[in-house]
């Protein structure tokens, strides 16, 4: 029997707007409303794109609580509560559950570089400590750890491990995971350029950077696929190749935060060690936004 999943379609990995006092909650609220008006299927707060790595504990919790309260049940809210410290991840996950998130997003432990057995122990201890679903997040390019298909096959036996956000870029590995886990583990694309390929392997959607700047069309790529309009979904995937390339011309979330600023959103500065993009990349971002009608005037 298939496990119930937190969402189907496109979930925005939402940018966190900052100001001189910390998080700009007024702007975050406007961004959330715009996402929902443009048919985003879920909101993921305090992820990589939200610069959670540079938030202090109070900010991290405040961002989660505000998002749940502002969304007010309109769409599911997923909270990034992963850490390379299992105990801290449990604390943050319990907090997120207490304020009403729909699910947790748990990145693989970074820097420690644990074994596959360590991954099983880490994730099992976290999900045993809560009563809400968890989405694993496999992004070895950032963490140095890759969840192997055989490890997924063990983890998916847990009733609260319902899905993974796959950003390892290896479709052959994802195919093997699908074979080993079947309906016990839903797969979301963690790379905007692989949304349709992963949907074609039975994926359930994408946790998306592009959705910050093009929420309606990111939703439509998934919805068209689900509605049987696979040619249209593929056409849109290909059409947005230039924008996706621009949004990843430097490490995420540098380009997307700059793109949102160019679109008029008051997202504020990037937090160090992230910094402004090189001039050639700024031009690439502007060109892609213009090509898709997202940059209304020269800035």
Query: What is the bridge-based pairing of β-strands 103-107 and 77-80?
Result: parallel
Question: Within a 10 A sphere around the Cβ of 84, how many other Cβ atoms?
Answer: 17
Q: Residue 236 in 3-state DSSP?
A: helix
Q: Residue 10 in 3-state DSSP?
A: strand
Asked if omega into 273 is within 30° of 0 (cis), the reply is yes
Catalytic-labelled residue, pool 123, 137, 152, 225:
137
Phi, psi torsion values for 240, nearest 5 degrees: -90, 10
Structure token digits, residue 38: 């443009």
Catalytic-labelled residue, pool 61, 165, 204, 257:
165
Active site residue 204: no
> In the 8-state DSSP scheme, what is residue 194?
G
Active site residue 137: yes
Give the Cα separation of 128 and 155 in Å (integer).
Answer: 12
The catalytic site residues sit at 137, 165
């Amino acid at each position: 029997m298939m496990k119930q999943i937190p969402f189907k379609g496109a979930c925005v990995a939402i940018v966190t707007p900052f100001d001189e006092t910390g998080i700009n909650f007024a702007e975050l609220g406007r961004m959330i409303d715009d996402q929902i008006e443009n048919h985003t299927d879920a909101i993921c707060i305090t992820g990589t794109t939200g610069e959670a790595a540079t938030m202090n504990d109070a900010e991290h919790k405040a961002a989660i609580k505000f998002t749940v309260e502002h969304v007010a049940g309109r769409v599911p809210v997923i909270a990034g509560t992963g850490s390379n410290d299992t105990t801290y991840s449990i604390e943050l996950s319990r907090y997120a559950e207490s304020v009403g998130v729909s699910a947790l997003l748990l990145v693989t432990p970074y820097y420690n570089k644990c074994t596959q057995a360590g991954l099983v122990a880490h994730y099992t201890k976290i999900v045993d400590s809560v009563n809400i679903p968890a989405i694993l997040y496999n992004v070895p390019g950032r963490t140095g750890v890759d969840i192997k298909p055989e490890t997924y096959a063990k983890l998916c036996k847990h009733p609260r491990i319902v899905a993974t956000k796959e950003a390892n870029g290896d479709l052959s590995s994802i195919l093997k995971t699908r074979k080993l886990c079947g309906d016990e583990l839903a797969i979301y694309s963690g790379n905007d350029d692989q949304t349709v390929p992963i949907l074609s392997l039975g994926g359930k959607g994408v946790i998306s950077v592009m959705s910050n700047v093009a929420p309606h069309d990111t939703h439509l790529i998934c919805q068209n696929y689900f509605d049987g309009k696979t040619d249209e979904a593929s056409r849109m995937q290909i059409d947005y190749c230039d924008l996706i390339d621009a949004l990843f011309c430097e490490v995420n979330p540098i380009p997307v935060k700059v793109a949102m600023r160019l679109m008029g959103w008051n997202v504020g500065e990037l937090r160090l060690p992230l910094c402004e993009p090189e001039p050639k990349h700024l031009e690439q971002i502007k060109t892609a936004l213009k090509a898709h009608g997202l940059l209304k005037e020269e800035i």
